[in-house]
Chain A
Amino acid sequence: MYFDYAATTPMTNKTKTKLIQALNQPYANYNSLHPLGKATAKTITESVTKIKAAFNLKPEQEIIFTSGATEANNLVFKSLYQQSGKNHVIISPFEHPSILAVVSALQKQGLKVSIAPIDKQGQIKIDALLACITKETFLISFVSCESEMGIRQDIVKISQAIKKHHPDIMIHSDMTQSIFKLDLDYGALDFVSFSGHKLGSMVGIGGLITLSNQALLPQIHGGKSYHPSRAGTVPYEAILSLRFALEEPLQPFSDAFIKSLEKTPGVLLNRFAHCSPYILNISVLKHHRQASLALLAQHNICVSLGSACSRQAQSRNVALLFNEQRAKNAVRISFNEYHQKQYHLLKQYLKELAR
């Protein structure tokens, strides 16, 4: 039983069928000038139009296709650092390792970093964030939905407050856990990163959405591609898989499921009202989280410790908002599909685990 959709959401049978049907038709390189190349380019253009519609983008807003959110995050941070001539960024305390790694790398080149202050429920304090801004600040980046507990930020309110006072500062959000599922109003954001495989496409496709059409220096140089900021042959199959994945609805877990877990002795829910309905973080008091993971795995139940890319022995984010003991026992359960029988079995095994 799979409850790790926040790590990757496997393609549904419908998506696979549509993709195979499409790939059974002849196709060529997007840049080729012969008729098959032109037909391929037309299919790509149609697919991008549908992807933009699913993401609630205006026609003039662009998607720079990348291999995923990690590359998109690298592109926006590195390009703006090179272009701006400034050296200060502000990030939230909940960023994914793909943001932290690029920040670490740039820090060694002289980048200064501030962490946005948060309240007791993990939400960014806007006034305190504005107070962190300096003359050197060129980018503010905050994750729209944190990946361990699903803590959501008010991206509209935060981005508009920043732009009101500092219209020249670029604002980026890694929306990998919320785009399409939860957030379709981007407020005053300039850039958004996403990964297709969190939404049910094949792995290897994602992008950086340029909402204000700010140009970015490419970090990968090469031949003509879909966008001048990122070279490389346009990934026809991957873009089609993203298009078809976005035609499939995703389903959060039910309130009834949450309520039933709240009543389970020995299980604590690490969540607030504003958390994502697709991510549930719990602490089983009796077991360290690695033991819980192993015991559930014995019943073929797949859950995770948090971000699959993290090396931490405890959940840093749970420790930050709750306490160390809960952090050591914290397990993430994540959903995108509803299967009543599987929910029932999961609850049963969690009760046994906590007993």
Chain B
Amino acid sequence: MNCVWISAMGCMSCIVMHDEIEAILNKYQIDYQALDADFDDLSGFDFKNDYPVLLFYENETKIKEFNGEFALSALEDFLKVARQ
């Protein structure tokens, strides 16, 4: 499973959630690609424009998307199941 983590400059939600998202992704040993909405080309990604954004892919198919100030417990629940 691959993960793309998109943040944006000047996004308070991205700042607030940064450390916790990083800790959860590390806990479940998820390899992620960190992208920046202001500097990186995001044209190949389909997502709701509400940051931060986490996109999870299985065999190049998107299986899950988290946007904005989502519940971190929902991310953990998803990863627990996905990692089984």
Contacts and interface: CB of A to CB of B under 8 A. Distances in A.
A105 interface: yes
Contacts of B50: 313
B15 A107 contact: yes
Contacts of A100: 9-12, 15
Contact of B11 (A93, A98, A104, A313): A104
Interface in A51-93: 93
Contacts of A108: 34
Interface in B1-43: 7-16, 18-19, 34
B44 to A, nearest CB: 21
Contacts, number: 38
Contacts of B9: 97, 100-101, 104-105
Contact of A316 (B12, B18, B34): B12
Contacts of A311: 8, 10
Contact of B18 (A97, A101, A107): A107
A95 B14 CA distance: 13
Contact of B10 (A104, A107, A112, A113): A104
Contacts of B13: 316
Residue with the greatest number of chain A CB neighbours at <10 A, chosen from B7, B12, B18, B50: B12
B19 A97 contact: no
B15 A113 contact: yes
Contacts of A115: 15-16
Interface in A86-140: 93, 95, 97-98, 100-101, 103-105, 107-108, 112-113, 115
Interface string A274-310: 0000000000000000000000000000000000011
Given A107-B18, A112-B19, A101 B10 contact: yes
B24 to A, nearest CB: 16
Contacts of A113: 15-16, 18-19
Contacts of A107: 15, 18
A67 to B, nearest CB: 17
B39 to A, nearest CB: 10
B68 to A, nearest CB: 10
Nearest to B38: A101
Interface in A12-35: none
A93 B34 CA distance: 24
Given A93-B12, A107-B15, 20 more contacts: A95-B12, A97-B10, A98-B10, A100-B9, A100-B11, A100-B12, A100-B15, A101-B9, A101-B10, A104-B8, A104-B9, A104-B11, A107-B18, A112-B19, A113-B15, A113-B19, A309-B10, A313-B50, A316-B12, A316-B13
Contacts of B19: 112-113
